[in-house]
Amino acid sequence: MNSLAPLKVFSGTKSRYLAEKICKSLGCPLGEMNIQYFADGEFAVSYEESIRGCEVFLVQSTFPNSDNLMELLLMIDAAKRASARKIIPVIPYFGWARQDRKDKPRVSIGAKLVADLLTVAGVDRVITLDLHADQIQGFFNVPLDHLYASSIYLPYIQSMQLENLVIASPDVGGSKRASSYAKYLGVDLVLCHKQRAKANEVESMKIIGDVQGKNVIILDDMVDTAGTITKAANIMMDNGAVSVRAFASHAVLSDPATERIRNSQLKEIYFTDSIPLRDTSCDKIKVLSVADLIADAITKVNTNESISSHYLI
């Protein structure tokens, strides 16, 4: 029987904050690497220690801008050329995931393109968190471990001990996620039906369900400009909700998201640390770390154990 390959963790530039927490949970040092930048905007990646025969985990979310994805691709290529035994990118936030189908003529399917780029670069498997669309798992021709923030959020929601709780989805697309939470917690489900004037701009919204006298928790996979989730919170409070909180996996938070959250009737909104917060001035925004979850997944991948215990729903 082959012995386990040595495990090493490296980080891209913008995800180092999370990689350090993951390594602390694993009890191992963060690997040394160098990224050299040139005057024309190009950059080169090099590992500052041997990774020959190692199982290499590369922590890097692909949030804007595109340099984060290019940096990850170069890290993969460098690891392949340095004779790593296995190369496993850990992508807590998988960018371009909203481009998962042709929703109008003559558009790209960005999520499939990124999956192909990672595969061609030389990955052996991928670890990611809360993809925008579950079918993206099928875009990869290598194994993909899809982690869910629900394994962190559900115990936290239970610890809040909110009375008259209902779970809500800010749109019909998120109804499956919200329904799973509601079923696990044994509470009612509320849906919001929205119509968009254009991307990132909600024209109208209606509530399907009863929020009168309820403590509402809205669930989403990401918050970009926060237009939808703040509008939903305001409408629910106007319809008699006692309080509205939100839980979302990825804090994209493009302007004017933070200002909208600050001025909304949301009591609190919780994110994971898959993306670093650009603005920490809003006290309504809370962060729960996924470092321990990812560290445990890395350990189990390295030791060939099942990670299904993390799938609460």
Active-site residue set: 194
CA-based nearest residue to 246, from 218, 287, 207 = 218
Looking from the CA of 31 toward its CB, the CA atoms found within 13 Å total 24
- Cβ neighbours of 119 (radius 10 Å): 16
Look-up of token digits 């779970």: 167
* DSSP tag of 216: E
Please say whether the beta carbons of 185 and 170 come within 8 A: no
Distance, in Å, from the CA atom of 233 to the CA atom of 54, rounded to the nearest integer, reads 48
β partners of residue 129: 147
Is 58 in a helix, a strand, or coil?
strand
* DSSP tag of 31: P
Distance, in Å, from the CA atom of 34 to the CA atom of 210, rounded to the nearest integer, reads 55
Please say whether the beta carbons of 217 and 158 come within 8 A: no
Distance, in Å, from the CA atom of 254 to the CA atom of 204, rounded to the nearest integer, reads 21
CA-based nearest residue to 206, from 194, 188, 218 = 194
CA dihedral in degrees (78, 83, 84, 86; nearest 10)? Answer: 100
Category of 248 on φ-ψ map: left (φ > 0), alpha (ψ -120 to 50) or beta: beta
From the DSSP assignment, how many helices (H) and strands (E) are in the chain?
A: 8, 14
Distance, in Å, from the CA atom of 177 to the CA atom of 174, rounded to the nearest integer, reads 6
Q: Structure tokens of 104?
A: 């109008």
